[in-house]
Amino acid sequence: MHRASCVLLLAVVAACHVSRTSINASSWHEAAQERALAAANGRLLLVGGGLDDDARAVYELLLAAPAGQAPHAVVATAATGPEEVEATDKLEALRAWSPTTKASVVRRATSTAETVASLQTATSVFFTGGDQKRITERYLPNGASTPEFSALLAVLARGGLVGGGSAGCAMMGEQMLLGGRSAQALGVPDTSGDGEPAPVGPRLGWGMGFLPGVLTDSHFFERDRIGRLAAALRQGPDRLGLGVGEDAAVLVELASRTLVGVTPSESLFVDGTFAQRDGAVLFGLRARLLGQGERLAIAPLGDVAPPRLPADPGRQVPVVEPGQNRQLASWRLFRHAMVPGSGVHELRCDGFTVRAMPAGDGSVVFELVVGTTPAESR
């Protein structure tokens, strides 16, 4: 192996190792499986961030309750500053939708006793954004269960719902992405010159463990996070991923391990079961968009490795089209590539290019070419 490649590989391994050294992986996996079993009666609600107050379908889910239980919606935040304001705004939105339904908020400063008391009667809990590590440090410090976490798990055991937006979405799996840009996750050195260079490789930590085997990401299309999710899935052990965009929401039915699209804005289910890397190309990936009312089993999208994409340069997907948000270019790529017979589509992002084509079964086969020149318009 070339010396530079060795250095890059060691840097990737080190970056991932540092994030997760404090907890034994085997013990964490066993604990996550037990938590998932205990939570199987419940549902999760994943929101990619930037949720509008008029998202009726989302608020109806948060304000609903299992049969025989009085509705009580709790907004939770483990952060301070703007995130606390977001919690207040979310509480006001819930009360606006249903003035007679009980709604409350638990903050970082809220005592354990008060938090547990609120969660003991909660039928839904929604975590606001911020830093996902703040959430796990409050509820599962160093992997140790707390009274707050036990009360949260009990909400799901009673058939309730636990949801989150942005950081609250990213924390749901056994593992979680801690941050970072796609280019660095794929191994491209940080040359921005903004302080210390960002480490290369996927930045992973331990999540809440409600959804084992699935890595979740937020602000997905708007921030071109397909690169960091694909890099993390290739590394494993999680091989399935869900990217949720802004103002988009996905309901997870834990008993049947089924995803349900909640909003008109789509999300992307990614299958990295057969992901491999050959030099600059990360391939063997499948994906499928999930729209409002659509249901999708949490399972691999194919039984065999997908074919490599042809060398055809493909159709460039415009980053900006008249009347369209340039931040949704990666969504447009997958939407175009789902059209049968449409050929290979390409989108240049900062530090990598996404190439995708229809698989013929409603899904998309795609690959990432690392180190390509970023599009001028981005």
Last residue within a domain, chosen from 168, 193, 221: 168
State how far the Cα of 207 lies from the Cα of 174, in Å rounded to an integer: 5
Token look-up 């530090």 returns 351
Domain final position from 168, 198, 222: 168
pTM: 0.89
Q: Does residue 155 sit within a domain?
A: yes
Per-residue pLDDT, 63:
97
Q: Are 260 and 44 in contact (CB under 8 A)?
A: no
23: closest CA among 157, 142, 145? 142
Distance from CA of residue 55 to its chain's centroid? Answer: 19
Structural domain of 57: 39-168
Residue 75 located in a structural domain: yes
User: Token pair 């939770």 is at which residue?
Assistant: 76
Q: Return the CATH number at 128.
A: 3.40.50.880
For the chain, give the number of residues.
378
CA distances from 142 to 75, 119, 146, 225 (A): 24, 22, 11, 27
* Cα–Cα dist 34/42, whole Å: 14
Q: Please tell me the least confidently modeled range out of 127-136, 203-212, 281-290, 321-330.
A: 321-330
pLDDT at 242: 98
Residue 27 counted as domain residue: no
On whether residue 186 sits in a domain, the answer given is no
Give the tens place of pLDDT for each residue, 86-119: 888 899 999 999 999 999 999 888 899 999 999 9
Query: Are the CB atoms for 245 and 222 separated by under 8 Å?
Result: yes
- Give the Cα separation of 225 and 202 in Å (integer): 11
Whether 306 is covered by a domain: the verdict is: no
Question: Is 119 inside any structural domain?
Answer: yes
Q: How confident is the model at residue 68 (pLDDT cuts 50, 70, 90)?
A: very high
Predicted local distance difference test score (pLDDT) of residue 13? 32
pLDDT in tens, 134-171: 899 999 998 888 999 999 999 999 999 999 999 999 99
Final residue belonging to a domain, choices 116, 137, 168: 168
Helix (H, G, I), strand (E, B) or coil at 332: helix
User: Confidence class of residue 35 from pLDDT cuts 50, 70 and 90?
Assistant: confident
Cα–Cα dist 273/198, whole Å: 27
Q: Is 95 a member of any domain?
A: yes
Confidence of residue 22 (pLDDT cuts 50, 70, 90): low
| Confidence band for 265, pLDDT divided at 50, 70 and 90 | very high
Across residues 294-308, what is the average pLDDT? Answer: 97
Within a domain: 291: no
Q: What total number of domains does the chain contain?
A: 2
Task: Give the pLDDT confidence score for residue 157 in this predicted structure.
Answer: 95
Q: List the alpha helices (DSSP H) in the chain.
A: 3-20, 25-38, 56-63, 82-97, 112-120, 132-139, 147-157, 167-170, 182-185, 226-235, 329-337
DSSP state letter for 150 = H
Report the percent of the chain where pLDDT is more than 90. Answer: 67
